[in-house]
A and B are shown apart, each in its own frame.
Chain A
Amino acid sequence: MAKIELKNISKKFKDDTVIENLNLTIKDGSFTVLVGPSGCGKSTTLRMVAGLEKQSGGEIWIDDKCVNDTPPGLRDVAMVFQNYALYPTMTVRGNIEFGLKNRGVARNERDKLVKDISEIVGLTPHMDKKPQNLSGGQRQRVALARAMVKKPKVFILDEPLSNLDAKLRNQMRTELIQLHKRLGTTFVYVTHDQVEAMSMGDEIVVMNKGVIQQADSPMKLYHDPANLFTAEFIGTPAMNMMKMRDVQGLDIQSTASIGHVGFRPEQALINAGADFEGYAIEGDILTRESLGAESIYQIQARTGVFFVKTFLAPLETADRVKVTIPYDQLYYFGLSGERLRGIEASPKRLVAAGGI
């Protein structure tokens, strides 16, 4: 088990700065997920922790040791690659025990470790097969077993589920969560899929363009996004955003200059009663996606297109609807995308100028 600290890390590829001045602490025993769009530097960060990429500046600490000059093999980290990176000429057993052999683990102990691990991941009947004779899911398990057998301080997983089909991915997702619980080791996981991040991580680091946008627990991230990027990145469908200048009929008591107002699709109500307090928008339903327990509507309003998600409600058949969002569910963002907190809003009252 180990804590990982990145201090003022930067990474340049020739003249291209990918990451600048990144600071991050990954808690001991946490399941930390780095998430962000492709090219945001999450994989690079991960590879720097593993030692496969050398940072251009800054320090990386694993526990109380600066590993800047420690080669990958001696950092006590194990990695699961996106394409598994199994050794194609070796059998499953050979793949799993290669790392042990290189550490000079005695044969008896090696056999025992390999046997235990293969039972955990369910590979026992396949030990003498070559990777090319295995299915995608089995290869994934070999990659996991190869990492686990070394009993590392840190597990690093670089989009390990992206090559699996949807069903298997869900299954492996829960298996990974269980595995993390059982091992209690620090997991660092990279994905571009925010659903994966939300469902697996207990700590999520949202990155964009080499900068950490927010590092928080999934629920905090969802309910209390620090900025426009996180708000729009987390959640399916994403948070609806309206430009402030398009927003009418909202009385905001604040001196801050607001750029955007947003709300979660699932917080909006369609055709709520007249006594329901909230910001109301009228619009036309463009599409209806009925997923059984939930329905997603795409609605064209004056402020633009937005989504509304309802649960266990009958499908809305009317073409034109009124959508109401409770005032306390509105999120405000400044002109440069930062979150503005503590803003109160109320319906704009018609105040007669000059009084009667």
Chain B
Amino acid sequence: MTVWEKLRPYGMVAPAIIIFSLFFIYPIFYMIYLSMFDWNFVSPTKTFVGLQNFKDLLTEPDFRQVLTNTTIYTVLTVTLTTGIALLLALWLNRKSFFHGFVQGAIFSPHIISLVSISLLWSWLMDPEYGLLNWVIGLAGFGKLEWLSHPSTSLISLVMVAVWKGLGYNALVFIAGLQSIPADIYEAASLDRSKPWTTFTKLILPMLSPTIFFLVIINMIGSFQVFETIAIMTQGGPVNSTNTLVYYIYEYGFRFFKIGYASAAGVILLFIVGILTMIYFKLLSNRVHYR
């Protein structure tokens, strides 16, 4: 074996390894490093503070509020998006012009940039001039404050996220449904399976890899929600929509407390890591792969 033959495989994967190290591995370690310093991004000196940043974070009531917000936002977004998308997919999984049109229509938000969507929904949800309040006014209900009141602001953001994610989720579900062979349904009908039994005993278990995939993807996405919050609410009113990533952004790039922000980043990394691990551990035994 020549030297070239020995090196060739390493040479082949080198670009991927370099990019991965540079943009993923290095930042993670640099973030962990920074989380132990007090630094404002520009001053030449960094002060080592050990775990003080973490201590501050965990005793800070605002941060606890942020964690709660993020959790509520994630749980609601993931369950609503996946659940509604599954129902939609069951309905849309047939061939007709109408069903194709609806599928295309609900998919379109997926390809629009989040910034545009945020601006659009800010306008729709405007308490005075917004279309949504006009519609519920027509239906005879009182006006809602939407983004301007702490009690409705977070759920309003969830609505936007669900609206945007629905099409993509439904599309993945439809693909999952179509991978179930038709003769399984036929066998079930010969076995006198009622529609509900067929759904719970056959379709749902066979869709489990799809559900698993979407829950993971949606959860990681929701935990990192940023654009809608930055544009629509800036974490307000009274911190009711402040989430982990927005909190990190604020401390890092507006208050220039980079060590403190990095510590929050480490916590985010930790949470997402733990969640992913739990999911893989718990569900890998119960998810059916063909």
Contact = CB atoms under 8 A, between A and B. Distances in A.
Interface of A: 50-52, 71-74, 77-79, 81, 83, 85-90, 98-99, 102-103, 132, 146, 150
B16 interface: no
A77 B191 contact: no
Interface in B148-191: 181, 183-184, 186-191
Given A88-B288, A89-B205, A132-B290, A98 B181 contact: no
Nearest to B184: A85
Interface residues of B, number: 20
Interface string B185-207: 01111111110010001100110
A57 to B, nearest CB: 22
B189 A87 contact: no
B190 A89 contact: no
Given A81-B186, A132-B290, A102 B181 contact: no
Contact of B202 (A73, A74, A81, A89): A89
Interface of B: 181, 183-184, 186-194, 197, 201-202, 205-206, 208, 288, 290
Contacts of B202: 87, 89
B177 to A, nearest CB: 14
Contacts of B194: 102
A49 to B, nearest CB: 12
A274 to B, nearest CB: 61
Nearest to A87: B202
Contact of B186 (A85, A132, A146, A150): A85
A87 B190 contact: no
- Counting from the closest, the 7 A-B pairs by CB-CB distance are A73-B192, A89-B205, A99-B191, A85-B183, A85-B187, A102-B192, A72-B189
Contacts of A90: 201
Contacts of B188: 87, 98
B159 to A, nearest CB: 34
A187 B181 CA distance: 25
Nearest to A83: B183
A98 B193 contact: yes
Contacts of B208: 89
A99 B192 contact: yes
A89 B206 contact: yes
Nearest to B287: A89
6 contacts: A50-B186, A71-B189, A73-B193, A81-B183, A83-B181, A89-B288
B205 A73 contact: no
A73 B190 CA distance: 4
A88 B187 contact: no
Most buried by B among A50, A72, A83: A72
Given A102-B192, A102-B197, A103-B192, A87 B181 contact: no
A132 B201 CA distance: 17
A194 B46 CA distance: 86
Most buried by A among B187, B188, B190: B190
B204 to A, nearest CB: 9
A295 B197 CA distance: 57
A132 B290 CA distance: 7
A51 B192 CA distance: 12
A98 B208 CA distance: 20
Nearest to B193: A102
Contacts of B190: 50-52, 72-73, 77-79, 99
